C-alpha cells in the first residue's frame, strides 16, 4: 500500500511513518521540514518530501497512487490559536480544502487527526462520547471541527471515504520535553533534570493520556475501517489527574517532583476523559499499553536523550 502522511515530522507522525514502513508499506512522509531533533528512519520504504501545506501546488503529484492519506498537520497549537484566529482558519481550513479539492478526484481514504481535548469545549459528563456538544474554547478546536464537517461533506458529495479520530493527550518516546504542548514530556523532562514544575490550580485537573503507539494502531485500524461511522474518540478512556501523573513520573524516574502551584487558568476545563466504546467496537482497536508501562518506556528514552545532550 502507498500512504501519504501529512505532518510526518511531528510526534505522532514520526511513529506512524516508521510503523507503516516497517509493515512493508510505501510511505510518502510530508512535512515543512525534518529537523535534526527528529530521528529520521533509514527505512528505504520512506520517501521524505518537504513542502508548505498552505501553499502546496503538487497535491495531484503527491497523491498519485496513494491509497491512504493520514492528515496530521496543524499550523497552530491550542494555546496560541486564539491570538490569531484568521491565521488559524487560513492555515488549517483553507489549507485542508486545497488538499481535499485535489484528493476528491483520486480514490484515496483520509484519516484525520482531530482533537479530543479541544473540540468538545466545556464538558458536562464524566466520560465524553462522540455525541457530546462541540463548543470549542479555542480557535484550534473550531478549525479541527470545521475540517471534520468538510470531510463529512466530501463523503456525501464526492464519495470520499474518511475517518476522523478525536485524539486525547498522546505521550511517549519522541515527544520533546521543551515543546509548548504535552504535559507528560514537559513534566518528565523537568523531573529528570531536577527542575521545578509549574502547576496552574491544585493539580486536580483530570485528562486522558494515551501512549503514542496506541494512537498509531488506532490510525492504522481507521484506515482499514469500512463501517458506517465517521468520528471516533481515541484515548485511554481513563482519567488521570496532574498530581497522579506526577506521582507516576516520580515512580518511573525514581526522582522527586518539585512543584510550584499557581492560580488556575480559566480555559483549563476540570476534566476531559474520552469514552472510547465506539472505537473499540467499530475499529476493533483498544489501547494496549498501561500508563505506567508507557511512562517507563518514555522515561528510558528521555533519560538517554538527556545523557546524550550532556
Give the residue numbers marked as catalytic.
140
Question: To 10 degrees, the CA torsion angle through 147, 153, 159, 165?
Answer: 40
Q: Which one of 64-72, 81-89, 236-244, 248-256 is the stretch in contact with a copy of itself (CB under 8 A)?
A: 81-89
- Residue 108 parent element (H or E): none
Of the two residues 133 and 290, which places its CB atom closer to a copy of itself in the complex? 133
**CB-nearer residue toward a copy of itself: 112 or 187:** 112
Contact 31, 8 (CB under 8 A): yes
Does 131 participate in binding a copy of itself (rule CB under 8 A)?
A: yes
Binding of residue 248 to a copy of itself (CB under 8 A):
no
Separation in Å, CA 237 to CA 74, 138, 209, 278: 24, 23, 8, 11
CA angle in degrees (0–180, nearest 5) for 232-234-240: 140
Please identify, among the stretches 2-10, 150-158, 182-190, 247-255, the one whose residues bind a copy of itself according to the rule CB under 8 A: 150-158
Q: How many CA atoms lie within 13 A of 35 on its CB side?
A: 7
Under rule CB under 8 A, residue 258 binds a copy of itself: no
Please tell me the count of residues contacting a copy of itself according to CB under 8 A. 29
Q: Please identify which residue in the block is written with the cell numbers 509548548.
A: 180
Phi, psi of 48 (to 5 degrees): -95, 130
Considering the complex, state which of residue 83 and residue 304 has its C-beta at the smaller distance from a copy of itself: 83
Stretch that binds a copy of itself, among 1-9, 61-69, 93-101, 214-222 (CB under 8 A): 93-101
- 103 contributes a contact to a copy of itself by CB under 8 A: no
264 binds a copy of itself (CB under 8 A): no
Nearest distance, CB of residue 86 and a copy of itself, angstroms: 5
* Residue choice 45, 127, 139, 236 for contact with a copy of itself (CB under 8 A): 139
The three cell numbers locating residue 67: 491509497
The dihedrals phi and psi of 85, each to the nearest 5 degrees, come to -60, -30
Q: Is 86 in the site for a copy of itself (CB under 8 A)?
A: yes
Contact predicate 222/167, CB 8 Å: no
Minimum Å gap between C-beta 85 and a copy of itself is: 5
Find the length of the chain.
310
Q: Which residues contact 222 (CB under 8 A, 6 or more apart)?
A: 111, 163, 165, 232, 283
Per CB under 8 A, 90 contacts a copy of itself: yes
With binding defined as CB under 8 A, does residue 150 bind a copy of itself? yes
CA distances from 274 to 39, 227, 232, 258 (A): 31, 21, 10, 29
Q: Does 77 bind a copy of itself (CB under 8 A)?
A: no
Per CB under 8 A, 89 contacts a copy of itself: yes
Stretch that binds a copy of itself, among 23-31, 52-60, 134-142, 185-193 (CB under 8 A): 134-142
Report how far residue 25's alpha carbon sits from residue 20's, in angstroms, rounded to the nearest whole number: 6
Residue 97 interacting with a copy of itself (CB under 8 A): yes
Answer whether 142's CB lies under 8 Å from 183's CB.
no
Interface segment toward a copy of itself; rule CB under 8 A; list 11-19, 97-105, 161-169, 232-240:
97-105
Residue 228, interface with a copy of itself (CB under 8 A)?
no
DSSP β-bridge partners for residue 239: none
Q: Which residues bind a copy of itself (CB under 8 A)?
A: 82, 85-86, 89-90, 93-94, 97-98, 101, 121, 131, 133-139, 142, 145-146, 149-150, 152-153, 156-157, 267
Amino acid at each position: 500500500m502507498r500512504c501519504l502522511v501529512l505532518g510526518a515530522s511531528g510526534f505522532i507522525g514520526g511513529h506512524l511513518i516508521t510503523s507503516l514502513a516497517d509493515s512493508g508499506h510505501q510511505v510518502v512522509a510530508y512535512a515543512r521540514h525534518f529537523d535534526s531533533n527528529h530521528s529520521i528512519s533509514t527505512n528505504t520504504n520512506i520517501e521524505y518530501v518537504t513542502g508548505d501545506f498552505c501553499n502546496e501546488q503538487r497535491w495531484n503529484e503527491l497523491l498519485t497512487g496513494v491509497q491512504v492519506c493520514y492528515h496530521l498537520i496543524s499550523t497552530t497549537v491550542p494555546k496560541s490559536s486564539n491570538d490569531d484566529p484568521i491565521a488559524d482558519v487560513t492555515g488549517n481550513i483553507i489549507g485542508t480544502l486545497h488538499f481535499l479539492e485535489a484528493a476528491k478526484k483520486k480514490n484515496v481514504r483520509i484519516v484525520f487527526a482531530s482533537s479530543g481535548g479541544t473540540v468538545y469545549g466545556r464538558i458536562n459528563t464524566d466520560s465524553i462520547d462522540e455525541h457530546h456538544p462541540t463548543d470549542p474554547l479555542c480557535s484550534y478546536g473550531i478549525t479541527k471541527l470545521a475540517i471534520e464537517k468538510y470531510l463529512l461533506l466530501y463523503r456525501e458529495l464526492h464519495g470520499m471515504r474518511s475517518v476522523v479520530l478525536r485524539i486525547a493527550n498522546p505521550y511517549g518516546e519522541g515527544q520533546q520535553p521543551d515543546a509548548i504542548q504535552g504535559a507528560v514530556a514537559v513534566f518528565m523532562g523537568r523531573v529528570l533534570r531536577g527542575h521545578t514544575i509549574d502547576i496552574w490550580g491544585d493539580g486536580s485537573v483530570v485528562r486522558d493520556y494515551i501512549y503514542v503507539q496506541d494512537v498509531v494502531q488506532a490510525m492504522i485500524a481507521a484506515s482499514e475501517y469500512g463501517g458506517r461511522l465517521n468520528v471516533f474518540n481515541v484515548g485511554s478512556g481513563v482519567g488521570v489527574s496532574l498530581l497522579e501523573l506526577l506521582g507516576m513520573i516520580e515512580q518511573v524516574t525514581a526522582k522527586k517532583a518539585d512543584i510550584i502551584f499557581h492560580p488556575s487558568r480559566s480555559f483549563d476545563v476540570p476534566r476531559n476523559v474520552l469514552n472510547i466504546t465506539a472505537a473499540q467496537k467499530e475499529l476493533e482497536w483498544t489501547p494496549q499499553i498501561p500508563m505506567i508501562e508507557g511512562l517507563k518506556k518514555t522515561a528510558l528514552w528521555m533519560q538517554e536523550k538527556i545523557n546524550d545532550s550532556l
